């Protein structure tokens, strides 16, 4: 029995990939050095998988920034505003699409299905002329071959690529325009000597109808006919295949299926409809998205069931290992009972080999693993009777006063102008801020010295915000490394790695907390900083918390307790913090839920249950405050109109939404839905270093006011400013306030006539 990986983390064990990218953007290294550094990381990753004994090793899964953007640039699918940058599209065009430049906004970025990875959305328009301008897949295969490593090149499938793109009128017609280019890529790989090619089509794990699935089957039948000597692996992940009885008729040589997420359904589908004879089943039997060790005996039973369906089973993770950290080797600060129960990318490679050995009769490693899992289950802090009883007792999730009454009370309490201005929460974290935090963590700075520094930064930015004339201020979050990690460090039931980094978008990496036990409030987490900031100004300062659904979606979550219960445990802990803030005079409190949408299951039939749990968790955290306490939330944009009723049900007084790259699309949602609460649609994109003009922001505000009442509209950036530089931040906020004042003045002039 053979083993395979679908994809491997591209960032390097110490984020070498991120550091090389950012050095290049700062012009500290040349393009030649960047490409050399990235090649070294790719080669090390391939050799590591080869050394572990993996049979099917992926290539072309590495990236300069994002695999969807890689595909788009290689196929000459370049937004009109970037087409004149280079005669032959290269790094300048590539990074301009991803990050924007002085003359054009970056392409939209959104989540990769229901993960915390974000991709750059390809854009088609009437001037798009698809062509194979860079066969990156052949290059990656030959590069690995030169190192003596046989690999399986990985492509994003045409149906998934087009389905996730913008400007597409007909998916099937657009796929037809790309089919010859995919065939050209595959024919070159066949000529290069590749044995297998993996084509990722995760879109088939969503609820496609029969006609759509039949068109996918026809697509792959055409592709296979053009490359008869090349073995094609059609790879899916994140859920069961929607129409397996149809998809199995595709004339590919193997199917990669996920038996972890919705795995029981997938197994039943195979038992009912069968698996095509003579084809390889690449079985995703290890969780590629979480970090807990696998019960290899349970996995063996699954493989046994699959072996009765297919005579050729290959063991692999459920999806790319892009979604987990690289290695546990450097995690020497975790307690043994926890560390031994974890499995990062490198350890999952070892688990595949251990499972293979177990199936072949050697249980040595499997028994060691069982012992580690048992030790974790019996660990201190794993269970709390008090926490579980509190969750079981929850019944009323609503605020005592309806929104209309709260709106009037808050208007009197805050006396804000029309189109009030604010930011989302974080302010730029300079190199100095990060160095001070590192010195404090290393105990090179005392608690008092560190606190004095944080207070000085907070005071400085309160003064900057007042000078900018923002209406509602924030304390800047200089004490926080990450919006989830910070709270996890202060709650019971969480643990933290030292180097457990995972790519979120571009060079941005996050270090998700590990939720191993029942979650409970310990002591106030944000009160001191918020109260200090409020003492510096007469303007309202928002208290800033991260919401329960975002904490759970951006963490590695235990799997022995229902996710709903974990979310409610977090919500009750946050409720205590909200009440502490209110008791200390902070009466505008923002509980951010940027990850609420990205947790949606792939199947629409499961959305209602997920959204109900999400709404209840948010309300459990926020519903006990007084009517004059204004609850804000922030979330990232993705198909907002599909969940707008659930967003309304959160009953937040003000919501801000990340929309600057898709402003018009989101505004259209309000043409169909009567949303009556306060709302801020991000008027500029913080993911790009570009500083937009006042007129651009005015246009965004005015577009929103075609469907929203000026009385409910707030003006803000579309996300936190932590990753931006100070100069660009101040310049952008100046223009944002100018835009708000300009529109406010015009509205007041019109009203006075």
CB 117 within 8 A of CB 322: yes
Count the residues in the chain: 753
111/319 Cα distance (integer angstroms): 16
| Tens of pLDDT, residues 576-625 | 999 999 999 999 999 999 888 888 899 988 999 999 999 999 999 999 99
524/579 Cα distance (integer angstroms): 10
Binding site for L-homocysteine: which residues? 424-426, 477, 592
3-state secondary structure 667-703: HHHCCCCCCCCEEEECCCCCCCCCCCCHHHHHHHHHH
pTM: 0.89
For the chain, counts of helices (H) and of strands (E): 27, 22
* Three-state DSSP state, 258: strand
537/383 Cα distance (integer angstroms): 43
Q: Which string of DSSP letters, residue by residue, matches 359-424?
A: HTT--HHHHHHHHHHHHHHT-TTS--HHHHHHHHH----S-SS-HHHHHHHHHHHH-PPSS-B---
CB 682 within 8 A of CB 717: yes
Q: What is the pLDDT of residue 260?
A: 96
According to DSSP, the residues that pair with 282 across neighbouring strands are: 256, 314
374/371 Cα distance (integer angstroms): 5
Task: For residue 454, give Cα distances in angstroms to 14, 112, 223, 616, 721.
Answer: 27, 35, 59, 34, 17
255/266 Cα distance (integer angstroms): 12
User: What are the residues whose beta carbons fall under 8 Å from the beta carbon of 666, sequence distance 6 or more?
Assistant: 637, 640, 641, 657, 659, 681
Q: What is the pLDDT of residue 577?
A: 98
In this structure, what is the dihedral angle of CA atoms 268, 291, 280, 229, given to the nearest 10 degrees?
140
Q: Check residue 293 and report its DSSP letter.
A: P
Tokens coding 367: 């028994």
User: What are the residues whose beta carbons fall under 8 Å from the beta carbon of 406, sequence distance 6 or more?
Assistant: 399, 627, 628, 630, 653
| Tens of pLDDT, residues 368-414 | 999 999 999 999 889 999 999 999 999 989 999 999 999 999 999 99
Fold topology of 403-752: TIM Barrel (3.20.20)
- Pure H helices in 240-379: 244-247, 263-273, 296-307, 336-339, 345-359, 364-377
Q: What is the pLDDT of residue 327?
A: 97
According to DSSP, the residues that pair with 491 across neighbouring strands are: 521
* Three-state DSSP state, 634: strand
Q: Which of 437, 522, 533, 444 is nearest to 488 (CA)?
A: 522
The greatest distance separating any two alpha carbons of the chain, rounded to the nearest whole angstrom, comes to: 87
89/489 Cα distance (integer angstroms): 44
Binding site for L-methionine: which residues? 424-426, 477, 592
According to DSSP, the residues that pair with 557 across neighbouring strands are: 515
701/409 Cα distance (integer angstroms): 26
Tokens coding 354: 């251990």
Q: What is the pLDDT of residue 25?
A: 97
Q: Which of 461, 480, 592 is nearest to 539 (CA)?
A: 461
703/700 Cα distance (integer angstroms): 5
Q: Which of 657, 525, 524, 652 is nearest to 588 (CA)?
A: 652
Tokens coding 676: 């009556």
| Tens of pLDDT, residues 86-127 | 988 999 999 999 999 988 989 999 889 999 899 999 999 999
109/225 Cα distance (integer angstroms): 35
Strands (E), 440-581: 473-474, 491-495, 502-505, 508-510, 514-521, 541-546, 556-557
| Tens of pLDDT, residues 553-574 | 999 999 999 999 999 999 999 9
Q: What is the pLDDT of residue 386?
A: 96
Q: Which residues of 644-681 are buried (b: 16+ CB within 10 A; e: fewer)?
A: bebbbbbbbbbbbbbbbbbbeebbebbeeeebebbbbb
424/476 Cα distance (integer angstroms): 9
User: What are the residues whose beta carbons fall under 8 Å from the beta carbon of 715, sequence distance 6 or more?
Assistant: 419, 420, 421, 422, 680, 683, 697, 701, 736, 737, 739, 740
476/37 Cα distance (integer angstroms): 35
Active-site residue, from 261, 323, 663, 687 = 687
Q: State yes or no: is 687 an active-site residue.
A: yes
Task: For residue 689, give Cα distances in angstroms to 423, 439, 461, 648, 729.
Answer: 17, 28, 20, 32, 9
86/89 Cα distance (integer angstroms): 5
622/228 Cα distance (integer angstroms): 60
Q: What is the pLDDT of residue 666?
A: 65
Q: Which string of DSSP letters, residue by residue, matches 211-256?
A: HHHHHHHHHHHHHHHH-TTSEEEEE--SS--TTHHHHTTS--SEEE
Tokens coding 21: 């990218």
395/213 Cα distance (integer angstroms): 43
- Would you kindly state where each structural domain of the chain is located, as residue ranges? 2-377, 403-752
Binding site for Zn(2+): which residues? 634, 636, 658, 719
424/254 Cα distance (integer angstroms): 47
| Tens of pLDDT, residues 276-303 | 999 999 999 999 999 999 999 999 999 9
Residue numbers in the chain where pLDDT is lower than 50: none
According to DSSP, the residues that pair with 151 across neighbouring strands are: 57
Binding site: which residues? 15-18, 111, 116, 424-426, 477, 508-509, 554, 592, 598, 634, 636, 658, 719
37/59 Cα distance (integer angstroms): 17
CATH of domain 2-377: 3.20.20.210
According to DSSP, the residues that pair with 231 across neighbouring strands are: 196
747/741 Cα distance (integer angstroms): 10
- CA 341, distance to chain mean position in Å, is 25
CB 250 within 8 A of CB 234: yes
489/466 Cα distance (integer angstroms): 31
Q: Which of 74, 55, 342 is nearest to 188 (CA)?
A: 74
φ, ψ of residue 152 to 5 degrees: the values are -110, 100
- For 189, the enclosing helix (H) or strand (E) is helix 171-192
């Amino acid at each position: 029995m053979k083993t395979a990986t679908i994809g491997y983390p591209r960032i390097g064990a110490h984020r070498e990939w991120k550091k090389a990218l950012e050095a290049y953007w700062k012009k500290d290294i040349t393009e030649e050095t960047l490409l050399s550094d990235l090649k070294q990381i790719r080669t090390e990753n391939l050799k590591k998988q080869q050394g572990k004994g993996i049979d099917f090793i992926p290539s072309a899964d590495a990236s300069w920034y994002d695999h969807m953007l890689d595909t788009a640039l290689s196929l000459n699918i370049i937004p009109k505003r970037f087409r004149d940058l280079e005669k032959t599209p290269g790094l300048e065009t590539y990074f301009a699409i991803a990050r924007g430049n002085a003359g054009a906004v970056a392409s939209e970025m959104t989540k990769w299905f229901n993960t915390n990875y974000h991709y750059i959305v390809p854009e088609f328009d009437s001037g798009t002329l698809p062509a194979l301008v860079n066969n990156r897949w052949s290059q990656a295969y030959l590069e690995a071959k030169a190192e003596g490593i046989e690999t399986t090149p990985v492509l994003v499938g045409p149906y998934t690529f087009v389905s996730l793109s913008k400007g597409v009128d007909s998916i099937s017609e657009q796929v037809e325009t790309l089919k010859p280019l995919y065939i050209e890529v595959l024919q070159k790989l066949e000529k290069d000597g590749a044995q297998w090619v993996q084509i990722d089509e995760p879109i088939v794990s969503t609820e496609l109808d029969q006609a759509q699935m039949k068109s996918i089957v026809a697509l792959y039948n055409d592709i296979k006919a053009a490359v008869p000597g090349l073995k094609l692996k059609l790879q899916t992940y994140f859920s069961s295949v929607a129409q397996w009885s149809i998809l199995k008729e595709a004339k590919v040589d193997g199917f990669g299926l996920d038996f972890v997420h919705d795995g029981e359904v997938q197994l039943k589908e195979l038992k009912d409809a069968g698996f095509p004879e003579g084809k390889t089943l690449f079985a995703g039997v290890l969780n590629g998205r979480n970090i807990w060790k696998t019960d290899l005996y349970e996995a063996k039973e699954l493989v046994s069931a699959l072996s009765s369906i297919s005579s050729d089973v290959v063991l692999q993770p459920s999806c790319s290992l892009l979604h987990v950290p690289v290695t546990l080797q450097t995690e020497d600060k975790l307690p043994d009972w926890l560390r031994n129960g974890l499995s990062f990318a490198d350890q999952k490679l070892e688990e595949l080999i251990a499972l293979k050995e177990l199936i072949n009769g050697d249980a040595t490693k499997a028994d060691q693993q069982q012992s580690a899992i048992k030790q974790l289950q019996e660990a201190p802090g794993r269970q709390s009777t008090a926490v579980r009883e509190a969750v079981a007792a929850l019944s009323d999730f609503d605020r005592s006063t309806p929104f209309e009454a709260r709106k009037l009370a808050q208007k009197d309490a805050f006396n804000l102008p029309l189109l009030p201005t604010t930011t989302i929460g974080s302010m730029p974290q300079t190199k100095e801020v990060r160095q001070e935090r590192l010195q404090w963590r290393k105990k090179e700075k005392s608690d008092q010295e560190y606190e004095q520094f944080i207070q000085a930064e907070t005071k400085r930015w309160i003064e900057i915000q007042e000078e900018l004339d923002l209406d509602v201020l924030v304390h800047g979050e200089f004490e926080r490394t990450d919006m989830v990690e910070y709270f996890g460090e202060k709650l019971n039931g969480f643990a933290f790695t030292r180097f457990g980094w995972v790519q979120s978008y571009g060079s941005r990496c996050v270090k998700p907390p590990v939720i191993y036990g029942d979650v409970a409030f310990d002591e106030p987490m944000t009160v001191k900083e918020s109260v200090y900031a409020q003492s510096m100004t007469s303007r309202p300062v928002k208290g800033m918390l991260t919401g329960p659904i975002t904490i759970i979606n951006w963490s590695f979550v235990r799997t022995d307790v229902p996710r709903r219960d974990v979310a409610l445990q977090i919500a009750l802990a946050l409720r205590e913090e909200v009440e502490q803030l209110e008791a200390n005079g902070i009466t505008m409190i923002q509980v951010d839920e940027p990850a609420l949408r990205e947790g949606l299951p792939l199947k629409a039939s499961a959305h209602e249950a997920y959204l109900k749990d999400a709404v209840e968790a948010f309300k459990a955290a926020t519903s006990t405050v007084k009517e004059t306490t204004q609850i804000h939330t922030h979330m990232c944009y993705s198909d907002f109109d599909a969940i707008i009723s659930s967003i309304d049900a959160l009953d937040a007084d003000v919501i801000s939404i990340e929309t600057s790259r898709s402003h018009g699309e989101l505004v259209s949602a309000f043409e169909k839905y009567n949303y009556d609460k306060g709302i801020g649609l991000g008027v500029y994109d913080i993911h790009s270093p570009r500083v937009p003009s006042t007129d651009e922001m005015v246009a965004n505000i005015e577009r929103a006011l075609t469907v929203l009442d000026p009385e409910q509209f707030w003006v803000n950036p579309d996300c936190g400013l932590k990753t931006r530089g100070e100069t660009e931040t101040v310049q952008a906020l100046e223009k944002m306030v100018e835009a708000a004042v300009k529109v406010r003045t015009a509205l007041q002039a019109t009203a006075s006539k």
